[in-house]
Amino acid sequence: MTNTENRPCLFCNTISQMREVEETLHFSCLCTGGKGWYTIDRDCYDDYDARRYPGHLISGYIREMYENGHQVHIDSENIEQILRSPLIPNHVRDKIEKLLVYLYRNTEVIGEPVILKESDFNLTYSPKATELITLIYYLRDQGFIEEEVHSELGSTDMEIIMTPAGLEQGHELLNRQKKSNQCFIAMSFDPGLLQTFKDHIFPRIRETGFEPITVDIVHHNDNIVDRIIYEIKNSRFVIADFTHQKHGVYYEAGFAKGLGLEVIWTVREDDIGNCHFDTRQMNHIVWRTVEELGERLRDRILATIPGARLT
């Protein structure tokens, strides 16, 4: 059953159009800059405790993931994890960098403006517009953007032009960011296995400072293979789980290796005998339970991936 009504979003507090499909609520609100959707389980929506979760951080996370092409789904299991995501800024420096990267990515022609609204303050994970505006003034004082102007009198649209110095800085930051905290998970799309990974493996990966990405959470219209390649290229390392022996996982692991990325090989114990002869001698983490795999993966990442740190 599908029904559409106006409901407040829990995270950006705007009344927005909500579509309900089989206990999943789809919101299109300021969290995605009014451009796309995120989804949330109905029970998570109904039981949400605003005093417990800082909604603006979740809104910032949904926005950043959306801008990177990922559609976020929220349920009562992952909401805590989201707040521990390495994407969430710890310091004002992180917020400034996020804003610069956004402006850089959205500048199509040098010298032409990017339009920002005051309501875009989730781009910097800010609780209100004042913070975004203060950061814009800071970028102007640093020479990264030209004086912003309101498009029309009374409008909340700001036209922001990046200076060449700002574009250079944005470019550098984007390259650093891309390589900094994404970990691609190549695995079978079996719904049961995928869900167990999300519940038990993803939190362990986040503890090491990396954000796990699988193509199933990537919202895309592109050819899926192009999208996988794009995500692998933007990852620091890859975890390849060979349980169920999917050809795609062999392809993705090989592609990542070819790019010089670290690949962590894993397989469930009952499937190691089925692994392809050429890769069977790789040092797999052979696991029995996902809890055990989660711990061993966390330890392996901390030991072998430069920049990994317990968060």
Torsional sign, CA 215, 76, 195, 202: positive
User: Which DSSP state fits 31?
Assistant: G
Q: Give yes or no for residue 72 binding Zn ion (CB under 5 A).
A: no
Minimum Å gap between C-beta 217 and Zn ion is 18
Comparing every residue's Cβ against Zn ion, the nearest one is 9
CB atoms within 10 A of CB 58: 27
Q: Rounded to an integer, what distance in angstroms lies between the CA atom of residue 59 and that of residue 309?
A: 25
Closest CA to 182 of 53, 14, 305: 305
Residue closer to Zn ion by CB (options 28, 196) is 28
Alpha-carbon separation of residue 157 from 23, 43, 243 (angstroms): 36, 36, 50
Stretch that binds Zn ion, among 8-16, 189-197, 216-224, 227-235 (CB under 5 A): 8-16
Q: Give yes or no for residue 263 binding Zn ion (CB under 5 A).
A: no
Q: Give yes or no for residue 123 binding Zn ion (CB under 5 A).
A: no
Give me the count of residues in the chain.
311
Minimum Å gap between C-beta 58 and Zn ion is 9
Stretch that binds Zn ion, among 2-10, 172-180, 226-234, 258-266 (CB under 5 A): 2-10
Residue closer to Zn ion by CB (options 39, 196) is 39
Minimum Å gap between C-beta 24 and Zn ion is 15
Q: Rounded to an integer, what distance in angstroms lies between the CA atom of residue 276 and that of residue 237?
A: 22
Cα of 81 vs its chain's centroid, Å: 12
Q: Rounded to an integer, what distance in angstroms lies between the CA atom of residue 165 and that of residue 185?
A: 36
Residue closer to Zn ion by CB (options 11, 121) is 11
Minimum Å gap between C-beta 84 and Zn ion is 20
Stretch that binds Zn ion, among 31-39, 138-146, 222-230, 302-310 (CB under 5 A): 31-39
Q: Give yes or no for residue 31 binding Zn ion (CB under 5 A).
A: yes
What residue ranges bind Zn ion (CB under 5 A)?
A: 9, 11-12, 29, 31
